[in-house]
Structure 1
């Protein structure tokens, strides 16, 4: 039975809706066991996301995986949780686990450390633990207060799909052997009903569509909800942990020159056979990993040799300063900006149309009013007070951390305003496409600040970080609110979970990052932090407009191509075309440029395994066996990374660098 609930508080508090005291009641689906389990899972995800974010620039919300692991833990302890409490678990876990991106520890914080005083006019900034806490507090909450006011518009009135949130709701229904949530929602502007006609495609989740399912989940497999799921998670966790630990002592394991020593040494073509990378590929899906590897082939197989042999990038291929990797970074940046801007344009246009012509509900003359009672909603005055307080405190904290020369308080306030507006776009883009374009939105904020504080590299990067934080948190909570809407969890409970998870993660993320920086050079061989170079390079470009030799022609060409591809992809997705998923994703394609081939190949293996499993071996759309295994793979290496940190801090190095010298590839010995 679920314990430590605060239902007694609701009975004790006055029943009047206008009572200030009653506003602070806890809904019936709020429980401390769910919060604790969510925090435990979230802390693991936090280390995992920081670890992989510093390696590749990629992190995952892991909403579906958090719900799955929370369910298995609740059965193991045993603390049986209701479906609504499982949603609270995953909301708390994702809020805790995504802070490395929201607070910029995988991007803007390393970027500030790369600043060159001679070139940029400011010394590099390395935040202390206390300064990291202050910065995290400055950006950790204002995005959370942006979602509740938007919930009714995007979830109830417009009924945006939010595919990952819908998929998580369906998973929870499967795990608890409940009827599937009602996903037969009308679609705006041409979207058809999910159940309009028998045989119509179901768009609820990409991984369910790939399995060929055309109807919602109806008959969950009993085997999935038995201890079998726990056993599969456990053995995959152990396998990934053992391989990661072996790679710590023998780094060559994660640097295998499968294409020959020459290509590995001179052109960075090697393989990192990480089970966690394979697991991430399963979670990302075959279309996304395919886009990433297409980018890898074009960037590292075509453009890199062109830049090297033409003398445009004469340094070592892997160098971010004078090598081919730094050269193709600019083309990657152009692709990401073009893809983000084109993808956001129809979202902005539709939003403007709705503002000028009224909501979709008003146009149709239908009543799409709020379905929740006041005690389950987040009061409006909480939102207003929370926004005002979080912004005011944030301005002060940013000033204390970076000083007046870093970014002026007035400029920081403008940054919050821009971040808030861009967060609205992020929520809508996430609801439409299941992609939160936080990186592209951060670049838009940087563009504004190139005009507001021209020439100030630090202010430009910080402003982008503020926008990225708001967009990330607003999107995270809105995805949770969609899951809660489908499964009956109260918005206030999920709001509490997001606040609690974000607060705890401030300390966890900052501490983890400081441990990493003490044990490893960042950026460095083990943690190249590729997105840090993106942030800094874009800030420098906006300041002085200088590009590497002959890079502009490639940037323009690739930007134009992917602007067209993004437009076609949006149209195909809008019209629910089955081939839309096979149109390359510009963001995924660009990530293939940012990371060396070793990071992309293993993920493609995972994507292929996912495609084969779901097209040939999956029992039905509710078969989540491979997701269980993939989650174990990801968590195994993430947890072992903590062990590696402890060993590195204690002075325990690698056992042998055998193989690294002969191949010319370093798997981490010199880190």
Structure 2
């Protein structure tokens, strides 16, 4: 949730969940064995089920839209612009309706992909890289040598968890005011600080930088330099010419509009390119599979075709177990229809502009899109849930219209669509993990359902703590700016009122960056893997356009630490890097809870550490002496 509300970059935490699941339950079962209360060993299936449940629960923090479409409905985000601030287009967060909404829309994606699991895993043998990597990790834990390594990894995670938590606690003492503390340390000087170039000592972002590939971190830095180092200072000089100089800093009709809409253009360009690429690969791969299946049923073998390799004993055993524990088709179809009917009835009660027939149309096309996302994720490890959500924003928002709450309808439709396609790809990843760890598919499905139900309760409550503890949540320049909430609402406004709301020359910039995003992706795919690593990722470049550069510098520090570590000892860095990163992320994230409780209790930090230039400091000293 903290990552969701700061940058929106959320790395995969499957490894952390698998590692901690192994450690805690292994410790518990050893204790029970000593007491004589437990005779059964801790198995790979149990480890897989725990990991699936935890990831499904935490995944709701993303698909639930607390940092994007759901918070984008609030008056905090809406009031940053003068348009669409009426009651029809605004809905403020409340735990009751958020929990109810998530329970209605979060489970249907699970039922949409269950009938297709055999096709995905057995027939097409899709790789699902994240699911496969998690399975190999869990399998390695349950060997004597792997258990020893896992024990060391958990110790490493615990050390850096403690360090990160205590570092967050230490920093809190110096934050008694705006722009106070280590998070406002002018690392490269005050002028660079004013352009958001500084290291803010965030253990979370350093950890994220260690998990994310190097190209993502470099892409964020390139986007930071291009936007905050070059573009925004130049466009800022046009105040009074291209836009009114008297506009508030948060107005989308001023400089803020360029920041938001140019980043949207890059995100849409990247999303469109990857959508077309994954969809085309899906269609080509499907057609090839169908042709192969047709040839397989011919009574006479084609002598010109190479003989397909015989499945190994392990593959035969996995397939037998995967097909033995069936989830009935009638159960999946019945569950989908039942939940769809409930959603058609209940969701319009939460969002009156989202009419029942809009939801009906979404649920008619959703299984196809869920299949495409799950299949594409199996090929590329890339979930396009946000892209499908954007598609719903524009189509449903334009259909509803400006006078009928089109902005709120588009954002709510985005939530319905994102939950379907996101949970479908997540469950497919988990089915692949279960297939490789010999876990029962039925247990995987039940674990996903339980984890999703936990997430529907836990995530709104955690978000509510942030919402009540930090009054400036969602405001630009605050500790938790929730950048994607503004981006998603701006998309909804764009879909309803078109390009008329953009400031001067913003549309031309949007066109340029939209096509540049497509071109960069096309070049990356055409030059091969060797040279593709030298081209930035447009989606990663777009994120600092709106937020700032500070987190990109933190992530590059994390990337540099991992890079040097890999040069010194590659095997150790690969084994313990994820544990160090997970400890940094989790410790800093957990500190957010006690800091929120302190804020709710009106307990303020005792010290404000702030940095001033010498001239300002002299004026402050003179003022204090005079008083």
Asked if TM exceeds 0.5, the reply is: yes
Distance 1:142 1:61, change over 3 A: farther
Aligned partners of 1:157 and 1:361 also within 8 Å: no
Counterpart in 2 of 1:55? 6
Counterparts of 1:564 and 1:150 in 2: how far apart (Å)? Answer: 34
Counterparts of 2:326 and 2:540 in 1: how far apart (Å)? Answer: 36
Give 1:563 shift: 0.7
Counterpart in 1 of 2:461? 511
Counterparts of 2:339 and 2:283 in 1: how far apart (Å)? Answer: 28
Describe how 1:114-193 pairs up with structure 2 within 5 A: 114-115=77-78, 119-120=83-84, 122-123=86-87, 124-177=90-143
Give 1:375 shift: 4.8
Counterparts of 2:282 and 2:545 in 1: how far apart (Å)? Answer: 33
Counterpart in 2 of 1:216? none
TM-score (norm 1): 0.79
2:604 to 643, 647, 653: 653
Counterparts of 1:316 and 1:77 in 2: how far apart (Å)? Answer: 60
Distance 1:438 1:581, change over 3 A: farther
1:537 lines up with 2:490 in the alignment: yes
Aligned partners of 2:207 and 2:585 also within 8 Å: yes
Give 1:636 shift: 0.3
1:592 to 544, 550, 555: 544
Secondary structure, aligned partner of 2:73: helix
Counterpart in 1 of 2:519? 564
Aligned partners of 1:446 and 1:461 also within 8 Å: yes
Describe how 1:429-508 pairs up with structure 2 within 5 A: 429-455=376-402, 456-508=406-458
What is the CA RMSD across the aligned residues, in angstroms? 2.7
More helix by share: 2
Once the two structures are overlaid, the 10-residue window that deviates more, 561-570 or 463-472, is 561-570
Give 1:97 shift: 0.5
Give 1:611 shift: 2.6
Aligned length: 566
Counterparts of 1:419 and 1:534 in 2: how far apart (Å)? Answer: 24
Counterparts of 1:315 and 1:501 in 2: how far apart (Å)? Answer: 49
2:290 to 335, 359, 376: 359
Counterpart in 1 of 2:150? 225
Distance 1:385 1:121, change over 3 A: same
Describe how 1:146-545 pairs up with structure 2 within 5 A: 146-177=112-143, 223-226=148-151, 228-251=152-175, 252-265=181-194, 267-311=195-239, 312=242, 314=245, 319=250, 321=252, 324-353=255-284, 359=290, 361-362=292-293, 365=296, 371-372=320-321, 375-403=324-352, 406-455=353-402, 456-521=406-471, 522-524=473-475, 525-545=478-498
Give 1:121 shift: 6.2
Counterpart in 1 of 2:17? 66
Give 1:356 shift: 6.1
Aligned partners of 1:238 and 1:636 also within 8 Å: yes
Distance 1:87 1:581, change over 3 A: farther
Distance 1:603 1:360, change over 3 A: farther
Give 1:567 shift: 2.7
Give 1:172 shift: 1.8
Counterparts of 1:617 and 1:153 in 2: how far apart (Å)? Answer: 41
Give 1:379 shift: 1.8
Whichever of the two has the greater Rg, that structure is 2
Secondary structure, aligned partner of 1:98: helix
Secondary structure, aligned partner of 1:119: coil
1:555 lines up with 2:498 in the alignment: no
TM-score (norm 2): 0.84
Q: Write out per-residue CA displacement over residues 333-390 of structure 1, whole angstroms, 9 at most, x where no aligned residue.
A: 1111111111121322344456667626415527999644555232211211111122
Give 1:326 shift: 3.9
Give 1:60 shift: 3.2
Counterparts of 1:361 and 1:221 in 2: how far apart (Å)? Answer: 39
Counterparts of 1:486 and 1:333 in 2: how far apart (Å)? Answer: 39
Secondary structure, aligned partner of 1:280: helix
Give 1:222 shift: 6.9
Give 1:551 shift: 1.4
Aligned partners of 1:419 and 1:468 also within 8 Å: no
Distance 1:61 1:400, change over 3 A: farther
Aligned partners of 2:249 and 2:256 also within 8 Å: yes
Q: Write out per-residue CA displacement over residues 82-105 of structure 1, whole angstroms, 9 at most, x where no aligned residue.
A: 122211111111101111111111
**Please, which runs of 5 or more residues in structure 2 have no aligned partner?**
31-40, 176-180, 297-307, 617-627
Give 1:659 shift: 1.0
Counterpart in 2 of 1:217? none
Give 1:279 shift: 0.8
